[in-house]
Amino acid sequence: MANLSLRGLDHPTLSRLRSNARRRGISVNRLIVETLRQQYANSGQTFDDLDRLAGTWSPTEAAAFAEAVAPLAEIDPGLWAAEPKATYRVKPAVGRKARK
C-alpha cells in the first residue's frame, strides 16, 4: 500500500471529515481511503443514481424512453379496489392537555 500526504486542507473541510468519520465509527484515514476507492478504484462505470446521465440522451433516445415508460403511468383501478381502507386511531398523549 502506498502512502499519501494531504496538504492544504482547510479547517472546515477537516472538521466535516472528522465529524463524518466519528458518526460512522471509523478513522478519518479510513473515510478518505473508502471515499477515494468509491470514486476512482472502479475500472468500469457503476451508477447508484442517474445524476451522471442527466442531459446525455439525444432527443431520439429521450423520446424512446418516454414512450417505453408511458404504460407505467397508468393506474390499474383493480389493484386499488382490492386494498382495504386503513383506519387510524390516535390515542391522546398521557399527561398532556388536549389542544383546542
Number of H helices and E strands in the chain, helices first, is: 4, 0
Task: Specify if 25 maps to a domain.
Answer: yes
Number of structural domains found in the chain: 1
Which tens digit of pLDDT belongs to each residue from 17-34? 999 999 999 999 999 999
Task: Specify if 87 maps to a domain.
Answer: no
Task: Specify if 34 maps to a domain.
Answer: yes
Task: Specify if 74 maps to a domain.
Answer: yes
| Predicted TM-score (pTM) of this structure | 0.42
Task: Specify if 36 maps to a domain.
Answer: yes
In this prediction, residue 56 carries a pLDDT of 81
Domain extent, residue 63, equals 11-44+56-81
Which tens digit of pLDDT belongs to each residue from 35-78? 988 888 765 666 667 777 777 888 999 899 999 999 888 887 77
Task: Specify if 97 maps to a domain.
Answer: no
Task: Specify if 31 maps to a domain.
Answer: yes
Task: Specify if 3 maps to a domain.
Answer: no
Average pLDDT score over residue span 76-93: 69
